[in-house]
Amino acid sequence: MRHGIDSYTDGAAQHTGPAGVSFWQRWFEPSRALANAGSDPHTNDFIDAFGNKLRVHAVANPKIAFDYYRKFKPSRS
């Protein structure tokens, strides 16, 4: 991932390893394809809930979708 300030690529780069030791699965599944997305709809320009610009270069989601997971393990809220 590449963080941005004024554009999507003028900030620091971030590399995050898989949640191998975590008991919580992690997903990055935006509600729609990202702007300028290529062959993977979950990569490219993204603005998070705080208004921060990010360019997502790669995603390795679990084999099942988050919505499917929630059918069997509902939220605690």
Task: For residues 66 and 77, give the distance between their C-alpha atoms in angstroms, rounded to a whole number.
Answer: 16
Q: Rounded distance, CA 5 to CA 9, Å? A: 8
Segment 10-49, tens digit of pLDDT: 999 888 766 655 555 667 777 777 777 777 778 888 888 8
Domain boundaries along the sequence of the chain:
1-77
Query: How many angstroms separate the CA atoms of 36 and 55, rounded?
Result: 10
* DSSP letters for 23-38: SS------SSPPBT--
Please, are residues 12 and 1 in contact by the beta-carbon 8 Å criterion? no
User: pLDDT tens digits for 49-61?
Assistant: 899 998 888 877 6
